Structure 1
Amino acid sequence: MKSKFLTAGLIAAMMVPAVAQAQTREIERDRREVREERRDYRDAQRYGDRKDVREARRDYNDARKDYRESVRDWRQDKRYQNYRAPFRYQQFRVGSTLRSSYYAPNYRPAWDSRWGVPRAGRFQTYVRHYNDLLLVNTRNGKVIRVYRNHFRWR
């Protein structure tokens, strides 16, 4: 049992898109750099002269700019954009049946480990419906699981 779980975890980890991982690593690296530059800036304010403060402030501002650009690039990634459906919002419940147009490929975001949801199984797919994330059985259109306001942070 334990080896099956470990194997499934390793397979899932290998299937995460490399681009998404690289972008996430870049954002984490930039965030860490902002923290370091902020600490250096505070130290320069406490113990340095005007020149040290000016250089530290410039480095801190550059680090913040790099971080903002990384986040903007991540948000502008085309894989996360086409999710608005051409119909008004409807709250789905577990057991609801969807028409096939609701889970067309345009509304199926690629699975990403940052979402904190398990991978979809066989004949299942995740569907973004406004801020909700639905797990749908593609054979019969039944909603298996609903994650309400899952994309509210976007």
Structure 2
Amino acid sequence: MRKLIILGLMAATVIPGAAMAQSRGEVRDSARDLRQEQRELREAERHGTRHDVREQRRDVREARQEMREDWRDYRRSHRDVYRGGNWRAPFRYNRWEAGARLRPAYYGPRYYVSDPARYRLPRPGANLQWVRHYNDVLLVNVRTGRVMEVHRGFFW
């Protein structure tokens, strides 16, 4: 009985990791399929008939839709993983606007988005950091505390 419980616990910890890796692979495969469909469309535009071109455009549209769905699933499946840290602040939610000035407690290092590329956010410039504030993401000048850009509901 004890072995079954231990095996069950081990499986419960391994399966989410495998599911996440699969999702990332699906996004990558979908992107590769889209590029292939776009190559085939260019080839059909050069050497094919109108029917071939129409068919390839439909295939590109379907590949784009598939990639969007896989990307959405990937973000949805990883949303809870990235929430795992203690990012919730000891203060209430505020609806910040660009140009507002924050106190340092609102944009401390524990609220930085450590890998903006993972969320397809542009690299911050000098003295700028992407900061999570509940479900919003703010681009903050860490020297002055001024909010440069706001994306509401980004993590939903």
The normalised TM-score by structure 1 is 0.50
Structure 1 residue aligned with 2:88: 84
Pick aligned residue for 2:121 from 114, 117, 123: 117
Q: Which amino acid in 2 is paired with 1:136?
A: V
Q: For structure 1, list consecutive stretches of 5 or more residues without a partner in the other structure.
A: 1-22, 33-70
Q: Distance in 2 between matches of 1:143 and 1:117?
A: 16
Q: Which amino acid in 1 is paired with 2:124?
A: A
Structure 2 residue aligned with 1:37: none
Cα deviation digits, residues 36-63 of structure 1 (max 9, x gap):
xxxxxxxxxxxxxxxxxxxxxxxxxxxx
Q: 1:151 to 1:77 in 2, by over 3 A?
A: closer
Are residue 107 (structure 1) and residue 111 (structure 2) matched? yes
Structure 1 residue aligned with 2:153: 149
Q: Which amino acid in 2 is paired with 1:116?
A: R
SS in 1 for 2:140: strand
Structure 1 residue aligned with 2:24: 28
Structure 1 residue aligned with 2:142: 138
SS in 2 for 1:76: helix
Structure 1 residue aligned with 2:99: 95
Identity of aligned residues (%): 38
The normalised TM-score by structure 2 is 0.50
Q: Distance in 1 between matches of 2:136 and 2:82?
A: 19
Q: 1:145 to 1:24 in 2, by over 3 A?
A: farther
Cα deviation digits, residues 11-54 of structure 1 (max 9, x gap):
xxxxxxxxxxxx9764233687xxxxxxxxxxxxxxxxxxxxxx
Deviation at 1:117, TM superposition (A): 1.7
SS in 1 for 2:129: strand
Q: For structure 2, list consecutive stretches of 5 or more residues without a partner in the other structure.
A: 1-18, 30-76
Structure 2 residue aligned with 1:19: none
Deviation at 1:83, TM superposition (A): 1.6
How many correspondences in the alignment?
92
